[in-house]
Amino acid sequence: MNAPGTVTESFEVAGTPDSFDQFKTTFDIPTPAFETWKSEYGFQPNPMVTMPQVPVPNQTSQAQLIANARATTPPAVEQVLQGEMPNALQFGGLQLPTFQQLQALTPDERTAMNTRLMTEFNVPLSDVAFQTERQFSAPSVDRNKDLARFRGYAV
């Protein structure tokens, strides 16, 4: 007698195959080889899997990267890379603005001036402001020490 709450059933299936080979023969599903499957079914194009045709930009060589970097390097960086002390910024015929002139610019005017300086002189406005402060402010002891160290003097 079974314990309460348990169910035991036993049944027998007629014609149960004795081996896996007999089991496979009961189904009529052919398993084609890859060559047969490829020729009969093949890979159907599917828009979910097909790679889009994305334009690939031209390859840039290391020589082109170096040429672009040299063309856009500020003059002071070039001078430092050559082992020289960087000169004061020069803008051709443009006068270096004073600190008061730079402070009088609105944010939009600063953006416009930065764009023009980058376009014409390859120098950002931040560098111009730094040079203005450096040129028109009183010389500092730290600056003199830095220059002396750069020139190789013991300080």
Q: What is the pLDDT of residues 90-126, one digit of tens each?
A: 666 667 777 788 888 899 999 998 998 888 877 888 8
CB 105 within 8 A of CB 114: no
Cα–chain center distance at 33: 46
Q: What is the pLDDT of residues 1-44, one digit of tens each?
A: 556 556 555 555 555 656 777 777 776 666 767 677 666 766 66
The answer to whether the pTM exceeds 0.85 is no
- Report DSSP letters for the chain, one per residue: -PPTT--------TT--SSHHHHHHTS------HHHHHHHT-PPP-TTTSPP-PPPPPPPPHHHHHHHHHHTS-HHHHHHHTT-PPPPP--TTPPPPPHHHHHT--HHHHHHHHHHHHHHHS--HHHHHHHHHHHHSPP-HHHHHHHHHHTT---
